[in-house]
């Protein structure tokens, strides 16, 4: 069984957790394990782009995400489930992979939209990057 399950969530998109969260909860309950929830506030990517945002953008974005993550856990995670929250800032797939190592999880649960070949060819998807590079099994739930 899975004693440590990592659920990835996009706090701006309910579809990123609406179907995946119940699956993660069920797996954790069955094994009496711990649910880790991670959300990543994406960085701007380049200094040129960062220049268009206010200096305190990162601080405000992380504070808003922290509140949203706490609200999600309070309203959506049953009280009998042990849960730990993780919030990061940076490239989504890199931060999720770091969290996998940090929490020593046995399984990652994440939602992914229906594949769009053109978009994936141009920019790729975080789910794809995580699945290919994860040292542990990944359960992808179609959103």
Which whole-number Å values give the CA distances from 1 to 48, 70, 109, 118, in the listed order?
46, 27, 14, 37
pLDDT at 102: 97
The residue among 34 and 115 whose pLDDT is bigger is 34
Query: Which pTM was predicted?
Result: 0.88
Q: Per-residue pLDDT tens for 110-136?
A: 998 776 665 555 445 888 889 999 999
pLDDT at 118: 54
Q: Per-residue pLDDT tens for 37-79?
A: 999 998 876 666 666 777 788 888 899 999 999 999 999 999 9
Domain ranges of the chain: 4-142
CA–CA distance, 123 with 109 (Å, rounded to integer): 22
- Topology at the third CATH level for domain 4-142: Rossmann fold (3.40.50)
pLDDT at 57: 80
**How high does pLDDT run on average in the chain?**
89
The residue among 142 and 85 whose pLDDT is bigger is 85
pLDDT at 123: 47
Stretch 19-32: mean pLDDT:
96
């Amino acid at each position: 069984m899975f004693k440590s399950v990592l659920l990835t969530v996009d706090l701006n998109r309910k579809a990123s957790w609406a179907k995946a969260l119940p699956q993660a909860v069920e797996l954790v309950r069955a094994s009496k394990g711990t649910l880790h929830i991670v959300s990543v506030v994406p960085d701007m990517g380049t200094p040129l782009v960062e220049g268009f945002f206010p200096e305190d953008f990162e601080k405000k974005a992380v504070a808003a995400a922290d509140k949203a993550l706490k609200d999600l856990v309070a309203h959506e995670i049953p009280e009998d489930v042990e849960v730990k929250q993780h919030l990061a800032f940076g490239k989504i797939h890199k931060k999720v992979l770091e969290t996998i190592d940090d929490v020593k999880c046995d399984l990652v649960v994440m939602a992914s939209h229906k594949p769009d070949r053109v978009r994936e060819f141009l920019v790729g998807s975080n789910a794809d990057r995580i699945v290919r590079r994860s040292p542990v099994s990944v359960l992808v739930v179609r959103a």
